[in-house]
Amino acid sequence: MSAIFGYINLDGQPADPAIARKMQDAMDHWAADDSGLVVMGGLALGHLMLWNTPGSKMDKQPYSDTGKDLCITADVRLDNRDELINQLGIGSRNIPDCRLILLAWQKWRTNCPKYLIGDFAFAIWDGREKQLFCAGDHLGVKPFYYYHRGNLFVFASEIKGLLAHPLVDASLNELWIADLLCRFTIDASSTLYRHIKRISPAQHLQFQAGKAPSIEQYWELSPDQELPPATDEAYISGFREKLTTAVECRLQTDYQVGAELSGGLDSTGVTAIAHRLLKEQQRSLQAYSLVLPVGADLYMPDEREAIEAFCRYAGIEAPCYITGEEGGLLQALEWNARIQDEPPREMNVAYRDLLFQQAQQADIRVLLSGFGGDDLVSSHAAGYQEDLMKQGRWLTCWREVRAQKKRRSTGYHPIVRMGSLITGRILGMLGIDYYELMDRRMSAKYPMGKLKLQQRPILPDWKQQFDMEQRQLLFKEVYSRLPELRASQVKRLMQPHSQLRMGYCDLATRSFRMEYRYPLLDIRLLEYYLALPTRMKAQNGYGRYIYRMSLEGLLPPSLQWREDKTGSAQPHVAQREEIDADQLFALLWSIPKDHKIYQYADLSRLKPKQDIQLKGMTKVWRQLDPAFQCLILDRKLNPS
Render 323-387 in DSSP notation, one character per residue. -STT--HHHHHHHHHHH-SS--SSGGGGG-HHHHHHHHHTTEEEEE--TTTTTTTT---TTHHHH
Asked if 125 contacts 71 with a C-beta cutoff of 8 angstroms, the reply is yes
Taking 70 as the threshold, does the pLDDT of residue 259 lie above it?
Answer: yes
In the prediction, which pLDDT does 621 show?
A: 78
Taking 80 as the threshold, does the pLDDT of residue 517 lie above it?
Answer: yes
With vertex at residue 268, the alpha carbon angle to CA 267 and CA 274, rounded to the nearest 5 degrees, is 90
Question: What are the backbone dihedrals phi and psi of residue 622, each rounded to the nearest 5 degrees, phi first?
Answer: -95, 140
Q: What is the overall mean pLDDT for the chain? A: 93
543 in helix, strand or coil?
strand
Lowest mean pLDDT: which of 386-395, 439-448, 558-567, 589-598?
Answer: 439-448
Asked if 186 contacts 453 with a C-beta cutoff of 8 angstroms, the reply is no
What's the whole-number mean pLDDT along residues 463-475?
95
What's the whole-number mean pLDDT along residues 527-548?
95
In the prediction, which pLDDT does 160 show?
A: 98
Amino acid 40 reads: M
Cβ count near 19 (within 10 Å): 17
CA distances for 35 relative to 28, 83, 496, angstroms:
9, 29, 32
CA distances for 70 relative to 38, 66, 146, angstroms:
12, 6, 20
Spatial separation of the C-alpha atoms in residues 203 and 199, rounded to whole Å? 6
Lowest mean pLDDT: which of 18-22, 398-402, 459-463?
Answer: 398-402
| Cis amide leading into 62 (omega within 30) | yes
Cβ count near 93 (within 10 Å): 9
What is the DSSP secondary-structure string of 461-527?
HHHHHTTHHHHHHHHHHHTPPPSSHHHHHHHHHT-HHHHHHHHHHHHHHHTTT-EEE-GGG-HHHHH
39 forms beta bridges with 44
Asked if 193 contacts 171 with a C-beta cutoff of 8 angstroms, the reply is yes
How many CA atoms lie within 13 Å of 226's alpha carbon, on the beta-carbon side? 7
Spatial separation of the C-alpha atoms in residues 290 and 567, rounded to whole Å? 10
In the prediction, which pLDDT does 567 show?
A: 63
Cβ count near 440 (within 10 Å): 11
CA distances for 552 relative to 24, 303, 312, 531, angstroms:
48, 21, 16, 22
Short-list 124, 130, 171, 114, CA closest to 144: 124
* Alpha-carbon torsion (103, 523, 140, 475), positive or negative: positive
Secondary structure letter of residue 159 according to DSSP: H
What's the whole-number mean pLDDT along residues 597-606?
96
Spatial separation of the C-alpha atoms in residues 629 and 448, rounded to whole Å? 21
What's the whole-number mean pLDDT along residues 89-113?
94
Taking 70 as the threshold, does the pLDDT of residue 444 lie above it?
Answer: no
What is the DSSP secondary-structure string of 395-447?
HHHHHHHHHHHHH-SSS--HHHHHHHHHHHHHHHHTT--HHHHHHHHHHHHS-
Asked if 376 contacts 492 with a C-beta cutoff of 8 angstroms, the reply is yes
pLDDT band at 424 (very low <50, low <70, confident <90, very high): confident
- Let me know if 616 is exposed, middle or buried by CB neighbors in 10 A (0-12, 13-18, 19+): exposed
Q: At what angle do helices 624-637 and 572-589 cross, to 10 degrees?
A: 50
pLDDT tens string 326-344:
999 999 999 999 999 999 9
Spatial separation of the C-alpha atoms in residues 370 and 516, rounded to whole Å? 10
Taking 80 as the threshold, does the pLDDT of residue 217 lie above it?
Answer: yes
Spatial separation of the C-alpha atoms in residues 445 and 447, rounded to whole Å? 6
19 forms beta bridges with none
Q: What is the dihedral of CA 411, 548, 276, 140, to 10 degrees?
A: -80
What's the whole-number mean pLDDT along residues 421-434?
84
Amino acid 173 reads: N
Amino acid 100 reads: L
pLDDT tens string 58-92:
899 999 998 999 999 999 999 999 999 999 999 88
pLDDT tens string 375-386:
999 999 988 898
